[in-house]
Amino acid sequence: MAELIIPGPAGRIEARYTEPPVEGAPLALILHAHPQAGGTMQDPVTITLYKMFERAGFGVLRYNSRGVGRSQGQFDGGVGELSDAAFILDYVENMSESPQFVWAAGYSFGAWITLQLLMRRPEIDGFLALSPPANHYDLSFLAPCPASGLILCGDNDAVCAPEDVERALTKVRVQTGEEIERQVIAGANHFYQNKLADMEDACETYLLGRLDAAEQKLRDEAEAEAEG
């Protein structure tokens, strides 16, 4: 893992980056919780996601949003934060060699930014949105959601209650062939205190399942091409 300082739209952006282990390996970008509520790239949820993607063979980057840690700038209500996320996705893609897949994962406020990023970046193949603050932000901009992913929250989450997520998703459409899966972690609050392992297991099971399905599809296509 390397420490990076990226020249971003509002000044330098502090990041941590693990290079793809092999050429063509998939990439993942991870966004942390609300910067005005203590969210940083060093929070336990963000670090857990980072290590999970590392184990799965991804090149992975997490960063402090503007005004956090050594990142310059000031909180911009989501507008500048979305601009930063798109800029950093470009940056990490330019450092890699033709990634097989691109994923984005976000926690809380970072999940809201992640879902918006999907609508602007068609190369994103999958996403993890942990505890998106559905009682604070509208999700109807997913019209339609262009990629499959997992939305996860805890049943004791006062910020992202499961019923708020379900209510928000009633307004959301999904492109043909894509699916938004929902899971609820029993006993988990918004910070996944004492439930990080359960959160990690749910995310990893979903991620590895998606990767296995994608690899099988590539094998099937190769076999069909060889037979044709």
Q: Cβ neighbours of residue 218 under 8 Å, at least 6 residues apart?
A: none
Average pLDDT, consecutive stretches of 10 residues, N- to C-terminus, the chain (228 residues): 93 97 95 95 98 97 96 95 96 90 97 96 96 88 93 93 90 90 96 97 98 86 77
**Side-by-side strand order, sheet with 2-8:** 2-8, 11-18, 59-63, 27-31, 102-107, 126-130, 148-154, 180-185
Classify strands 59-63 and 27-31 as parallel, antiparallel or unpaired.
Answer: parallel
Question: Which pLDDT score, from 0 to 100, does residue 87 have?
Answer: 97
Spell out the alpha helix ranges (H) of the chain: 44-55, 79-94, 109-120, 162-169, 196-227
**Which CATH topology does 2-227 take?**
Rossmann fold (3.40.50)
Tokens at 72, concatenated: 């310059």
pTM score over 0.75: yes
Question: Which pLDDT score, from 0 to 100, does residue 136 have?
Answer: 84
CA distance 207 to 151: 12
Question: Which pLDDT score, from 0 to 100, does residue 228 have?
Answer: 67
Other beta carbons within 10 Å of 187: 12
Tokens at 12, concatenated: 């330098």
Question: Which pLDDT score, from 0 to 100, does residue 47 have?
Answer: 98
**Identity (one letter) of the amino acid at 59?**
G
Mapping DSSP to helix (H, G, I), strand (E, B) and coil, where does residue 37 land? helix
